Homo-oligomer: A and B are copies of this chain.
Amino acid sequence: MSGQDSLEALRDALRAFAAERDWERFHTPKNLAMALAGEAGEVIEHFQWLSGEESAALPEPARAEVALELADVLLYLVRLADVLGVDLADAARTKMRINAERYPVDKARGRSDKYDRL
């Protein structure tokens, strides 16, 4: 995938992966949204009994396991965006602009109370 943008490369690789296995029929947005949520649930299970500090100092091999769970989330997210015809990088840039307007630096500084989004 060298040279290609990482999100576009993943999108193309996942498209080919599904096509080769005749899995497109299972890849409705509904099903992929469920798979995405299931993987997000697996990420959370790694952190549920840890303090914030412990979660920031994850020892190996736990960190490597979490890395693969994050990968699962990304794969389903990229695939879901693709079947919906959504340009994920573009949507993320749009959302960053919305967040910058919603949380201006001078008002948001150091406060989490009015803060629901990144």
Interface residues of chain A, those whose CB is within 8 Å of chain B, are 1, 5-8, 10, 13-14, 17-18, 20-23, 25-26, 28-31, 33-53, 55-56, 58, 63, 66-68, 70-77, 79-81, 83-86, 88-89, 91-96, 98-100, 103, 105, 108-110, 112, 115-118
- Can you list 25 contacts pairing A with B, beta carbon distance less than 8 Å? A6-B92, A23-B108, A23-B112, A23-B115, A28-B53, A28-B56, A30-B55, A31-B49, A33-B34, A33-B46, A33-B47, A33-B55, A35-B45, A36-B43, A36-B44, A38-B41, A40-B40, A45-B116, A56-B83, A63-B85, A67-B81, A68-B95, A70-B80, A74-B91, A74-B92
Instruction: Report Cα–Cα, A79/B70, bound state, in Å.
Output: 11
Oligomeric state, in copies:
4
* Residues A81 and B70 in contact, CB atoms below 8 Å apart: yes
Given known pairs A33-B44, A41-B44, A70-B86, the reply for A75 and B115 (CB within 8 Å) is no
- In the assembled complex, how far is the CB of residue A83 from the closest CB belonging to chain B, in whole angstroms? 7
